Amino acid sequence: MKLALVLALAAPVFAQAPYNEKPTYARSREFDLQNLKLELSFDLPARKILGTATLRLEPLAGDLRELTLDSAALNIESVTVGGRKLAFQTADDKLTVTLDRQYPAGAPIDFVIHYNAQPKRGLFFVFPDKFHPDRPRQIWANGDTAGGNNRYWFPGYDFPNDKTTTEMLVTVPPGWQVLSNGKLEGVSGNTFHWVQDKPMSTYLISLVAGEFDKGQDKWTVPVEYYVPRGRGADIPRTFGRTVDMLQFFSDNIAPYPWAKYSQAMVDTFGGGMENTSATTEGAASILEARDFEDRKAGTDSLIAHEMAHQWFGDLVTCADWRHTWLNEGFATYFEALWEEHAYGRDVFDWKELQAARGMTSGFANPGSVVPKTNSEANGAYGLIYNKGGWTLHMLRGQLGDARFWKAIQHYTKKFSYQTATTNDFVEAVAEATGQDVEWLFDQYVYRPGYPEFEVSWDYDAADHLLHVSVKQNQKVDGKPSPFQLPVEVEAVGDRMEQTFHLQVNGEPQEFYLSLNERPVTVLFDPRDILLKSVTYHKTGAEWIWQLEHASRSLNREEAAYQLGSSGSSAAIAALARAAAGDTFYGVRIEAAQALGRTKSDAAEAPLLKMLADQNSEVRASAAGALGNLTRSTGLIDRLMEVARTDSSFSVRRTALLSAARLKPEHGLDLLKPFLTMDAPHGEMRFAAAAGLASLEDESAASLLLELSRDSDDRVGQTALRGLTSAGKGNHAVTDRLIEALNEGGAAGDRQAAIQVLRMRRDTAALPALDRIAASDALPSIARAAQSAADAIRRPAGAPSEDLTALRNRLAQVEKENADLKARIERLEKK
Handedness of CA 84, 87, 90, 95 (dihedral sign): negative
pLDDT at residue 805, as a whole number: 44
pLDDT at residue 356, as a whole number: 92
Are 66 and 212 in the same domain? yes
pLDDT at residue 408, as a whole number: 99
pLDDT at residue 746, as a whole number: 78
Q: What is the CATH number of the domain that holds 37?
A: 2.60.40.1730
pLDDT at residue 137, as a whole number: 96
Q: What is the CATH number of the domain that holds 460?
A: 2.60.40.1840
For residue 166, tell me if it sits in a domain. yes
Are 340 and 322 in the same domain? yes
Query: Please, are residues 569 and 598 in contact by the beta-carbon 8 Å criterion?
Result: no
Are 109 and 203 in the same domain? yes
Are 270 and 200 in the same domain? yes
Are 137 and 209 in the same domain? yes
Tell me, letter by letter, the H, E, C secondary structure of 199-211: EECHHHCCEEEEC
DSSP 747-779: HHHHHHHHHHHHHHT-GGGHHHHHHHHHH-SSH
Are 51 and 167 in the same domain? yes
Domain count along the chain: 3
| Structural domain span for residue 414 | 316-444
Are 424 and 474 in the same domain? no
Are 192 and 212 in the same domain? yes
pLDDT at residue 2, as a whole number: 73
Q: What is the CATH number of the domain that holds 416?
A: 1.10.390.10
* Cα R_g (the chain), whole angstroms: 28
pLDDT at residue 144, as a whole number: 81
User: Residue 814, exposed/middle/buried by CB under 10 A (0-12, 13-18, 19+)?
Assistant: buried
Amino acid present at 271:
G
Torsion of CA 553, 559, 560, 563, to 10 degrees: -170
Residues of the chain with pLDDT under 50: 5-20, 802-830
pLDDT at residue 810, as a whole number: 39
User: Alpha-carbon distance 441 to 35, whole Å?
Assistant: 36
For residue 358, tell me if it sits in a domain. yes
For residue 710, tell me if it sits in a domain. no
Are 153 and 220 in the same domain? yes
Are 358 and 296 in the same domain? no
For residue 323, tell me if it sits in a domain. yes
Considering 515, 530, 545, which residue would you say is the last residue of a domain?
A: 530
Tell me, letter by letter, the H, E, C secondary structure of 96-131: EEEEEEEECCCCCEEEEEEEEECCCCCEEEECCCCC
Considering 274, 309, 344, which residue would you say is the last residue of a domain?
A: 309
For residue 542, tell me if it sits in a domain. no
pLDDT at residue 818, as a whole number: 41
User: Alpha-carbon distance 671 to 677, whole Å?
Assistant: 11
> 412-436: per-residue pLDDT in tens?
999 999 999 999 999 999 999 999 9
pLDDT at residue 360, as a whole number: 86
Are 155 and 304 in the same domain? yes
> 661-701: per-residue pLDDT in tens?
999 999 999 999 999 999 998 999 999 999 999 988 888 99
User: Alpha-carbon distance 320 to 105, whole Å?
Assistant: 24
For residue 481, tell me if it sits in a domain. yes
pLDDT at residue 800, as a whole number: 56
Considering 263, 294, 309, which residue would you say is the last residue of a domain?
A: 309
For residue 466, tell me if it sits in a domain. yes
Query: Please, are residues 285 and 239 in contact by the beta-carbon 8 Å criterion?
Result: no
Handedness of CA 650, 653, 656, 661 (dihedral sign): negative
Are 323 and 303 in the same domain? no
For residue 46, tell me if it sits in a domain. yes
